[in-house]
Structure 1
Amino acid sequence: METRKVQLTGGSTYTISLPKRWADEHGIEAGRELSLEPNGDASLVVRATAPRNDRRATARIGVDGYTHPNLQRTVEALYTVGFDEFTLSSSGGFSTAERRAVTAATAKLVGLEVLEETDARIVLTNMLGNDGESVRQSVLQLEYVTVWMHRNAVTAVANADADRAAQVIERDDEADRLFGLVNRQFHRALRSMQAVEQLGFDRPTLFAYYTTARQLERVADHAERTASVARRLEDPTAVGSLDDLATAAHESREVVTDAASVLLGGGSVDQAYDAFTARDRLLDDLDPLDRALHDGSAPDTYLLGLVLDSARRTAEYGGNIAEAMVQLSVQAQND
């Protein structure tokens, strides 16, 4: 890092000199206009090329020889890192199966659509704007979907309700798509200070939204796992600790919602500390329940042990959200 002293020119203008090596590398000469981007963290970004608000990040990548799963992973990666438009090219042309693989990947990502297709290339474009409101709304919707999935998965277990379990499993893709959108915005902000400014958040707040979304997506995964267990149960009522297990799962969900309410519901940081307390108490309570299931002989005992493990993980994910809320609070108090 280099330092410069601020000079006063003409009695009213502050000036600093630019590093000569940097200026030479970017063709900076006298009279050249530079772009200055003030940021909320007291930094000032100097760019050799003036940014345009309507500039779209584009990419082009050759995918010759890619397997169908790797084609899908490439589409997901290009979307996640923040490209607004990208082109996949194949010198030998795309087969019908390869086009289906690209289309399947596109269907999993919010706002992504096929813009153009030829024999040798596929162009995809993001149709959504890049703003903070879309991040917040996505996390709010993700919380709603996750809580719905978790509540109904536990009900499906308690009643061995395969139909309800199937409904839960179907919604996991929705949770994945919502997290994917938040993940994309987060990675855009890592690549560009201008992207942070467009979102309207400071970086600690954006990270809190990302962390919350990541943990909610993991809770949704465990809700899907719990629902999958419900489809395999024979007679869960034969397990004497079923009611205690359902209560524990409910309490694990409350840890998550209480912690997330600090960011999403305007709650105070005290709710995050309360979530820590509830998490620790629940984890202690799960140990004797775990032993009871381990010692049981009913056919469904092992499967209900998987549900208990998901309840434990859910409580831990709620604790991770609470930790992010406390970190955000202490940063805000000392900025």
Structure 2
Amino acid sequence: METRKVQYTGSSTTISLPKEWADEHGVEAGMQLALYPAENGELIIGAEQTDDGDPPEVCVEGRSATVVQQTVKSLYAIGNDTFTLTADGGFDREQRRAAARAATNLVGLEVRNESETELVLTTVFDAAAVSIERTVLQLQYTTLSMHQDAIHGLIDGNEERANRVAKRWNDAERRFLVAENCFQRTLTDVEQLDRLGHSRPDIFDQYATARHLADVGEQAQRIATLVGSEAMVEKPWPDEFERFARESRHLTEQAVDDVLSSDEPPYETVRTCRKLVDDISELRRRLYRENEVTYGRSVAVGSLERTAREAVKIAERAVQASLRR
């Protein structure tokens, strides 16, 4: 870290810039610099933005449709406004369909131009209109609804409810990738940080919360796949199972609210979440002791325990967030 003395010249306040930094970034007399004052007292100085070059190009020649789809999601998630997929030998039908399907499933992404050997994809949503906080709340609603359907589908043997879970996963993944896109952009774009209206630590807290919620959705999917499968044996579920599932959803919701708004560290929420993890672990051990465990039950209880652990992680994140406020 370097320090500089502030000087007053007439009606102006002057501070010198480190010469090495100025030379490295091509700063010269008369050049305009971008100043970004932050609420925490920091002043970020940036050299005038210039074109960083061509958008990224990724060759997917010979790759499967699954790889093409994952490539599109990854390039979107890391915050690229525009990117190009290439295949010197041309795209096959499945590759084109995979790229188009991925774009359709992502907020604000579309195939702008296409040729025999190139697909150019561009984000068209207004970054200023995106709220990562609202995205987290939408993701919370989606994943907890998935979890509720999975649990009730499992207990009641209701395949219709279980099937809803898989259908809603695309929505959950889409919302998570919006949160990741916002977070990745703020790492390199101070103006994007200004548009979102939060500090970098706050944005990271919200992104980390979104990741934990996505994990809750994955556990819901895992539970839902058991419904109607050969892994399930017709036995009544222990009364605690549904109660613990309900508590895990309630605590997850409470922890998310604490991340977003609590000014006091939610230590009690952390303690309650940890106790729930212990209670579910004890249920799993009891089922083994009483020889009541099957493969399906083992998977379901294990997924429920992991869901409760995600609630712990979100609550612990809320403690950190509140201590920074």
How much is the aligned-residue C-alpha RMSD, in angstroms? Answer: 2.5
Counterparts of 1:187-206 in structure 2, within 5 Å, are 187-206=184-203
* Map of 1:216 onto structure 2: 213
Matched, 1:80 2:77: yes
The corresponding residue for 1:317 is 310
Please list, as runs of the form range in 1=range in 2, the aligned pairs for 1:154-165 lying within 5 A after superposition. Answer: 154-165=151-162
Q: Is the 8 A contact 2:259 2:315 kept in 1?
A: no
Partner of 1:87: helix, strand, or coil? strand
Number of aligned residues:
324
Aligned residue runs from structure 1 range 224-239, under 5 A: 224-232=221-229, 238-239=235-236
The SS at the match of 1:238 is coil
Q: How far did residue 149 of structure 1 move?
A: 0.8
Q: 1:235 offset after TM fit, Å?
A: 6.5
Do the aligned partners of residues 44 and 57 (structure 1) sit closer, same or farther apart at CA in structure 2, a change above 3 Å counting? farther
In 2, the alpha carbon distance for the partners of 1:263 and 1:242 equals: 32
108 and 43 in structure 1: CA distance in 2 versus 1, 3 angstrom threshold = same
Structure 1: how far apart are the matches of 2:92 and 2:232? 48
Alignment of 1:95-174 (within 5 A): 95-131=92-128, 133-174=130-171
- 2:296 counterpart of 1:303: yes
Structure 1 unaligned blocks of 5 or more:
none
Structure 2 distance, partners of 1:185, 1:258, is 24
**Larger deviation, residues 78-87 vs 151-160:** 78-87
Normalising by structure 2, what TM-score? 0.90
- Amino acid of the structure 2 residue aligned with 1:194: E
Question: Residue 20 of structure 1 corresponds to which residue in structure 2?
Answer: 19
2:183 to 183, 186, 208: 186
Partner of 2:45: 46
Deviation at 1:308, TM superposition (A): 1.0
Identity of aligned residues (%): 36
- 2:34–2:45 CA contact under 8 A, matched in 1: yes
Which amino acid is the alignment partner of residue 173 of structure 1?
N
What's 2:173 paired with? 176
Deviations 1:187-206 (A, max 9, x none): 11112222211111112221
- Distance of 1:142 and 1:282 partners within structure 2: 23
Contact 2:259 2:317 (C-alpha < 8 Å) held by counterparts = no
Q: Normalized against structure 1, the TM-score is what?
A: 0.87
- Name stretches of at least 5 consecutive residues in structure 2 with no aligned partner: none
Q: Please list, as runs of the form range in 1=range in 2, the aligned pairs for 1:243-258 lying within 5 A after superposition.
A: 243-258=239-254
